[in-house]
A and B are shown apart, each in its own frame.
Chain A
């Protein structure tokens, strides 16, 4: 269908609108490149704030991705395969943070896991664990907003999977776990990769929930987006350099995974509607 549509020539007004849209996305990037302090770029990149923030961002976003995979894949499996009452409501609940303003998510996390929070007070009292304003808190905030992207992608792949593949494995003597490992997982691997990258990109860019729940302490909770925001007030040139670094990383990831990502994302959208 889409192939047929591609052959139809786009009317001029539509072309103009589409061109404007491309410009709309390209202009901010050009603006940054234009204002970038190229002569000092290397100095900004290697200074303490930038390196620390970048390292922290990498560490926390990768941890958040790992947690998203560990919990998200079973959750996707539950939503795709187990027919239980209220499944629709559970799915909506688990995907809520995709559409929630991140700051709201951060506030909610604070009242749940903060030192006086619903669960947080016991974490503190019984285990001595404090999440807010720690690096672990950053990971929690990022996981909270990132995991739905993995869940929605993997769930779509599981729904698309021919259930008879798993049946075949069972009749060949494969237990449930063996079947999952040898058949299900390899079959959904492209979607899992795509979902993990989406989740990682979301975690890397996380700002609102992080600053609300984890604060903005250089070295422990100040991730790249926070550093960009902060330096905008103190040193705009540095903000531009840091922003360009983030844009480059994200752009390269999207470029490298464009086929898989678009494929899986389209499928996810089809299932979601």
Chain B
């Protein structure tokens, strides 16, 4: 299964010109600042916005091809769409919300209800079947939205900012849930987000969109190591460390220890920004930084006046230093360095 899309569209001040492809085995995240055109891309794929020029095909079947006069209405496309803040139908019960897609496609009422009930059981929401969606929490509403989109077995699942409506506390557990549900769905999965943490946690591949153009695409690790633009470097290309926190120390799966300043416990996601990482030569000197790891420079990437260093070692990290510091330290690929980070520079969130 593949999605092939070439989208050209002018919409107000947005001039969108992107080409993207997605396969069934991967979760793709579309990342970018507000107004970059991410959501418009999803709307084009869903048929809610016709492309100006270009071509969109799902499994080789064209669904939008203005040159050939082809345009499939949204209801005729094999898609599921999870909207930002979910947009559940408030005049219908939770069960009717999920059954909606089946009923709209002509499935008999009894059969539609049975299949929807199966979904509710799977999502642990059977108690809410006959309630209105207004009573659901953010996480529950998201599960209902997901079930509503998946009940018709779409080939392509589109998610628009699926976690943006949630507060920080529920976000982690919903993100974990979402990852499991995304993993159990065997179609193509395309997700829009402006949060790199979500993209890192959920996606196999990132496509970064800025001002209507794709500026970079690749695995999260790849994008972090070699960002092509300032936006990617500052907001997308961050180090994400997962592990378990006990007594103010996060221990990763490989055994690396990261001292953090926030009082959290249990599974945790720590974000280390590359520009917060200090690089020194040799064994390191005494400093106020609570963290210091040894490593080897395996890659060097220049981005304007800054240099990105990819370091392998106790804790794989990407660091960003100024070109001047880079020159002074006379760093080369293969050099042993120590990387240090102040505990207060590390952002943590429950994982």
Q: Given A173-B75, A186-B91, answer yes or no on A168-B83 (Cβ-Cβ < 8 Å).
A: yes
Nearest B residue to A174 via CB reads B104
Nearest A residue to B152 via CB reads A173
Q: How far is A186 from B148 in the complex, measured between Cα atoms in Å?
A: 19
Q: Is the CB–CB distance between B87 and A162 below 8 Å?
A: yes
Chain A residues whose C-beta falls within 8 Å of the C-beta of B87 in the assembled complex: 162, 164-165, 167-168
- The size class of the interface chain B forms with chain A is 20 to 34
Q: How far is A170 from B75 in the complex, measured between Cα atoms in Å?
A: 5
Give chain B interface residues in 35-60, CB to chain A under 8 Å: 43, 46-48
* B152 smallest CB distance to A (angstroms): 6
Give chain B interface residues in 112-157, CB to chain A under 8 Å: 148-149, 152
Flag whether B293 is at the interface (Cβ < 8 A).
Answer: no
Of A165, A178, A186, A187, the residue contacting B104 (CB under 8 A) is: A178
Q: Given A164-B87, A169-B100, A186-B91, answer yes or no on A175-B81 (Cβ-Cβ < 8 Å).
A: no
Q: Is the CB–CB distance between A164 and B101 below 8 Å?
A: no
Give chain A interface residues in 176-226, CB to chain B under 8 Å: 178, 182-183, 186-187
Flag whether A22 is at the interface (Cβ < 8 A).
Answer: no
Report the count of interface residues on A (CB-CB < 8 A). 17
Chain B residues whose C-beta falls within 8 Å of the C-beta of A169 in the assembled complex: 89, 100, 104
Q: Is the CB–CB distance between A167 and B83 below 8 Å?
A: yes
Q: How far is A187 from B91 in the complex, measured between Cα atoms in Å?
A: 7
* A189 smallest CB distance to B (angstroms): 8
Of B43, B83, B89, B104, the residue contacting A173 (CB under 8 A) is: B104
Flag whether A172 is at the interface (Cβ < 8 A).
Answer: yes
Q: Is the CB–CB distance between A172 and B148 below 8 Å?
A: yes
Shortest beta-carbon contacts, A-B, top 8: A172-B101, A171-B81, A170-B74, A174-B104, A173-B104, A173-B105, A186-B91, A164-B87
- Residue numbers of A with Cβ under 8 A of B are 162, 164-165, 167-175, 178, 182-183, 186-187
Sample (29) of A-B pairs whose CB atoms are under 8 Å apart: A162-B87, A165-B89, A167-B46, A167-B74, A167-B83, A167-B87, A168-B89, A169-B89, A170-B47, A170-B75, A171-B47, A171-B48, A171-B74, A171-B75, A171-B77, A171-B79, A172-B81, A172-B101, A172-B148, A172-B149, A173-B104, A173-B105, A174-B75, A175-B73, A175-B75, A175-B104, A182-B104, A186-B91, A187-B91
